[in-house]
Homo-oligomer: A and B are copies of this chain.
């Protein structure tokens, strides 16, 4: 069970970045994305549509209290990974995180928008940097999941798809399935 926590969503400014975070979470093998911030039905709807078309069981929802959420999950045995450019370089810590994940299969990955509360650095089991340069929480999330799943997520098959791409050298080849 892998849950991504997207912290600090602002409806106007972050609409597309948060949507990209959700799509990456799904495509790279996370199970859920919890969003904390200004509620925004459109994101939930657009992700639902993607799941209906492309398959899988990915869920996306808003939460009202991130502290309660994280504390509750910690009690359930989840380990918390906070992605931040200030943290330990992923390649120096990923083996330890993988070991944790193999044991309990419960992981929360926190990605913030511009500023996150200081408490994240304390509550997290791991503060992980996808390189120590400024870039993008979307890229950070993708690289983290790619390292965790050792690249295998890129060939993951989703159940209950209505659309499926058949890879090809030129152009587009999409298979359709009607229920």
Contact = CB atoms under 8 A, between A and B. Distances in A.
A23 B146 contact: no
Interface residues of A, number: 54
Contact of A143 (B13, B136, B142, B171): B142
A127 B172 CA distance: 10
Q: How many copies does the complex hold?
A: 2
Interface of A: 13-14, 16-17, 20, 23-24, 26-28, 50, 54, 85-92, 118, 121-122, 127, 129-136, 138-139, 141-143, 146, 151, 153-156, 158, 164-165, 167-174
30 contacts: A16-B16, A17-B17, A17-B20, A20-B136, A20-B139, A23-B134, A23-B135, A27-B134, A27-B135, A28-B131, A50-B134, A54-B133, A85-B165, A86-B165, A86-B168, A87-B167, A87-B169, A91-B151, A91-B154, A121-B170, A121-B172, A127-B168, A129-B167, A131-B153, A133-B156, A133-B158, A139-B142, A142-B143, A143-B143, A143-B154
